[in-house]
């Protein structure tokens, strides 16, 4: 353990030194990459420094205890305190040493689409987007709409947004999947409960060098934007549709007045969608691993039910049920997110212990 921690501290010092190197500072991509790596080590470094300090204290106290005399009693108390702290600290260190998600620390795209249920599904898609928007505001993240398509009733057929901020991906990666709502639609005269579904996809934002897209593989159409957006948006051919022909991936952006800006947004979403699809289609071993995880894979998995008549929200992956749906739909997602994270942490630690 000590050797591994010393290696971590050496790497941290090296990264700190490199970030002061003028050549690295000039290279924005390299500087960002090294900064992210160092930031990812902050917690582990703090734990490592405490662990090594406690180890030295333990050796000193053990020597004093063997020597006897006036300091023996104080040494005995110090050893008791150190031995009580070690197990908790070792557990934290072990988790920080686990292989990290390659997308950790990245900003994300959130894509919400109405599923089964017609207008009611689109209205619930809007409710979910609002829920995540409020949660993002609470976390002091920045959220921006990239593209949106409205239903006749004012809900969302589809909405794509970006969320930027610390731990955005780590916090929301478990939200991908099918979200089911059970409630009485406003148009239901008999008061019957209807069931509708909405799909949510959380995709890490991709760098341009993560995926090279050949311009020959793209079909780009421009047209006049429709729906909301104001007079300037709706009277110019500013909307952009980008089709990636090899994968038949289609992205439409029409929220900016500038055709150039809409194309830039569309390319960002396109890159994220293609990489996300590639990740989900990888080897059988990877797919089997995803099944054991807390739902970061199969987009067709029904992960959560929102039952309005019973004021109940249930996450089916971990069997968590809360009877405070009204607060959850207002963005109070912390308890659910933390439970999902804890489930994943417990599984990873168990696997590491078996491997060790």
Which tens digits make up the pLDDT trace of 323-353?
999 999 999 999 999 999 888 888 887 776 6
The average pLDDT across 23-35 equals: 90
Give long-range contacts, CB 8 A cutoff, 24+ apart: 325-331: 328/131, 329/127, 329/131, 330/131, 330/134, 331/131, 331/132, 331/133, 331/134, 331/135, 331/137, 331/138
pLDDT at 290 over 50: no
Sorting pLDDT into bands at 50, 70 and 90, what band is 295?
very low
Mean pLDDT over the full length of the chain:
85
The average pLDDT across 266-278 equals: 85
Q: What is the pLDDT of residues 48-92, one digit of tens each?
A: 999 999 999 999 999 988 888 778 888 899 999 999 999 889 888
* 106-356 to CATH, choices 3.40.50.450, 1.20.58.110, 3.30.70.1660, 3.30.1240.10: 3.30.70.1660
**pLDDT > 70: what percent of the chain?**
89
pLDDT of amino acid 306: 97
pLDDT at 13 over 90: yes
User: Distance between CA atoms of 196 and 329, rounded to whole angstroms?
Assistant: 16
pLDDT of amino acid 300: 62
User: Distance between CA atoms of 351 and 20, rounded to whole angstroms?
Assistant: 38
Residue 10 vs residues 7, 31, 39, 47, 132: alpha-carbon distances, Å: 5, 19, 15, 14, 39
The residues of the chain that CATH labels 3.30.70.1660 are: 106-356
pLDDT at 282 over 70: no
Query: Which of 237-246, 270-279, 280-289 shows the lowest mean pLDDT across its residues?
Result: 280-289
Residue with the bigger pLDDT between 292 and 86: it is 86
The average pLDDT across 132-161 equals: 92
Q: Which of 95, 3, 101 is nearest to 44 (CA)?
A: 95
**pLDDT > 90: what percent of the chain?**
46
């Amino acid at each position: 353990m000590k050797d591994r921690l010393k290696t971590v501290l050496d790497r941290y010092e090296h990264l700190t030194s490199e970030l002061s190197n003028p050549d690295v500072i000039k290279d924005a991509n390299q500087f960002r990459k090294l900064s992210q790596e160092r930031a990812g080590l902050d917690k582990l470094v703090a734990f490592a420094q405490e662990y090594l300090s406690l180890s030295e204290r333990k050796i000193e106290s053990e020597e004093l205890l063997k020597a006897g005399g006036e300091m023996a009693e104080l040494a005995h108390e110090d050893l008791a305190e150190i031995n009580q702290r070690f197990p908790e600290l070792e557990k934290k260190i072990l988790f920080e040493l686990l292989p990290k998600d390659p997308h950790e620390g990245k900003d994300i795209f959130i894509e919400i689409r109405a599923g089964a249920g017609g207008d009611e599904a689109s209205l619930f898609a809007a409710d979910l987007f609002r829920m995540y928007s409020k949660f993002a505001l609470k976390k002091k993240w920045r959220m921006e709409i990239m593209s949106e398509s409205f239903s006749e009733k004012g809900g969302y057929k589809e909405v794509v947004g970006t969320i930027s901020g610390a731990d955005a991906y780590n916090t929301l990666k478990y939200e991908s999947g099918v979200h089911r709502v059970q409630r009485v639609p406003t148009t239901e005269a008999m008061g019957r409960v209807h069931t509708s579904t909405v799909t949510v996809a959380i995709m890490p934002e991709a760098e341009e060098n993560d995926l090279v897209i050949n311009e020959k593989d793209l079909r780009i159409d421009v047209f006049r934007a429709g729906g909301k957006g104001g007079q300037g948006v709706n009277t110019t051919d500013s909307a952009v549709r980008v089709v990636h022909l090899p994968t038949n991936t289609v992205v439409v952006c029409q929220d900016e007045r500038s055709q150039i800006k809409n194309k830039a947004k569309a390319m960002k979403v396109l890159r994220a969608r293609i990489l996300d699809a590639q990740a989900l289609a990888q080897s059988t071993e990877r797919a089997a691993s995803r099944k054991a995880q807390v739902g970061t894979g199969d987009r067709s998995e029904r992960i959560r039910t929102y039952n309005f008549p019973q004021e109940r929200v249930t996450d089916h992956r971990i069997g968590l049920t809360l009877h405070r749906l009204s607060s959850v739909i207002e963005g109070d997602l912390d308890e659910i997110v933390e439970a999902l994270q804890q489930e994943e942490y417990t599984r990873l630690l168990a696997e590491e212990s078996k491997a060790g």
